[in-house]
Amino acid sequence: MRVKRHASRGDNLRRALAQEAARIMAEHGIRDFLVAKRKAAERFGVTDGAAQLPKNSEIEEALAAYQRLFGGASHLEALHAQRAAALAAMRYLQEFEPRLVGPVLSGTATEHSEVQLHLFADRAESVTLKLIDEGIPHEVTERRVKLNAERIRAFPGVRFEMDDQPIEATVFPPDGIRQAPVSPVDGRPMRRASALEVEALLESA
């Protein structure tokens, strides 16, 4: 009986830590699960070794619950605006076969979240040249992406705005469309959505 009681206490602590990490991500715009986890553990006076910290997937579930509870209509409106901006950017960059990824696709985006796109091109400069030609202010970036359990690689990208929403686009080589990187949430291949799928999301909202 004692073992079962300790297990239950551990489960409750994991749940509380997941909820606090979700609150921190929602209210403070933190994107990194590990950072949010550590901040939650610090608030609860828990060291990494004192208890098993919640999985990223548990935090994402808690974040979705938090947004349902506290976000209400304002969260749905913000998400709709983010997805509409994503679709506008995807149509503009259609020659690079854009795919929407991340919290804006999953529905767990906060008001601080950037729209995350994956683009595919032989040369990343092709994307920046298009933005330059259209006079769209942008910043050249680099993003470290986990391709599988053992391999992390840096890819070029650009950050710009579309309809007042921040867009972060990572540029992969053309064959990168066949294999999605690993999701930081559950370790599975990252979900990607085409412009048609994003359009369907907007129509069903």
Question: Looking at the predicted structure, is the pLDDT value of residue 6 above 70?
Answer: no
Question: Using an 8 Å Cβ cutoff, are 132 and 52 in contact?
Answer: no
Question: Looking at the predicted structure, is the pLDDT value of residue 3 above 70?
Answer: no
Picking from 116, 115, 112, 114, the residue whose alpha carbon sits closest to that of residue 28 is 112
State the helix-helix crossing angle for 2-28 and 56-66, rounded to 10 degrees: 60
| One-letter amino acid for residue 121 of the chain | A
Question: Looking at the predicted structure, is the pLDDT value of residue 63 above 50?
Answer: yes
Q: What is the pLDDT of residue 204?
A: 86
* Res. 1 pLDDT band, cuts 50 70 90: very low
* Res. 7 pLDDT band, cuts 50 70 90: low
pTM (2 d.p.): 0.83
Question: Looking at the predicted structure, is the pLDDT value of residue 193 above 60?
Answer: yes
Give the tokens for residue 14.
């994991």
Selected residue with higher pLDDT from 132 and 69: 132
Q: Which of 82-86, 109-113, 180-184 has the lowest mean pLDDT?
A: 109-113
Please give the mean pLDDT across all residues of the chain: 89
Question: Average pLDDT in the 99-128 region?
Answer: 94
- In the CATH scheme, what is the code of domain 73-204? 3.30.460
Q: What is the pLDDT of residue 2?
A: 47
Q: What is the pLDDT of residue 48?
A: 59
d(CA 13, CA 74): 30
CB atoms < 10 A from the CB of 159, how many? Answer: 15
